[in-house]
Amino acid sequence: MRIGLAQTRFPSSLKDGMAAVRKMIESGAEQQCDLLCFPESILPGLRGVGYGVEAYDHRRMTESLDEVCELARLNRVAVILPTEWLDERGMHLAAFVISAEGKVLGYQTKNQIDPDEDQFGYLPGQGRQLFEIGDVKFGIVICHEGWRYPETVRWAALREASIVFHPQFTGEVEQPAFYEGAMLCRSQENNIFFASVNYALPVQGSPTALISPSGKRLRAAESGTEQLIVCDIDPSEASGLLASRLRPELLL
């Protein structure tokens, strides 16, 4: 599978976010990517991180999702699209999975909300999903979940995921080494690929990077630069060995 990790600028508006998404999808198609992943809440942008973000408009968000589905279909590339999303339970941070045929396969909610995000009234999601594109199984964990709740990654690894995608926002932080180390841990402690996707920021506390099942950084984007990093992965390299040896009875 050829994956693309889209390190985009932080959108100034929903319209600007759509322009960034469109550009990356077209670039991914030119480079024959099978699946692209974007940063956390690329549409309409992530609240509470120092940027202005438009008020949520469900009609416009639905139209934007439909437009991305059409872009995926026209360009024959699957997409992981992180957004804000209002469902019957409330407002979520979520990540939609769209097939290369332009069909929504489902979405993963952010189930562990960062304490700093409580002020925005996001509802923690319930349950996790395993997705499959081209016979490759994968999971999604959103930002804070992947950094602070490693069991969210292990959930997917225990269900034969070859890779976990990690849409995130990490700007200036006190301990950037923690975030780089966490990426290596999430891959090596489960023996799967781990793909973390940040924004292009003036100061990035974490790179956009792909980590191998042995904990080796395979590719990383240049900090502060809009860039699509493309890498071929062999799912057979993701043995999931250490995840499969978990003895859950010891956690009780």
pTM of the model: 0.97
- CA-to-CA distance for 98 and 57, rounded, in angstroms? 21
Each residue of 169-226: pLDDT tens digit? 999 999 999 999 999 999 999 999 999 999 999 999 999 999 999 999 999 999 999 9
The strand ranges marked E within the chain are 2-7, 35-37, 78-86, 91-98, 104-109, 131-133, 136-140, 163-167, 193-197, 209-211, 217-220, 227-232
Give the Cα separation of 102 and 107 in Å (integer). Answer: 14
Euclidean distance between CA atoms 26 and 24, whole angstroms: 5
- Residues 153-176 pLDDT 10s: 999 999 999 999 999 999 999 999
Closest listed residue to residue 196, CA positions, set 158, 229, 242, 154: 229
Those residues with Cβ within 8 angstroms of residue 114's Cβ, 6 or more apart along the chain or in another chain: 143, 144
CATH number of 2-236: 3.60.110.10
**DSSP conformation letters of 80-95:** EEEEEEE-SS-EEEEE
Q: Strand, helix or coil at 103?
A: coil
Does residue 251 have a pLDDT over 90? no
Return mean pLDDT, the chain. Answer: 97
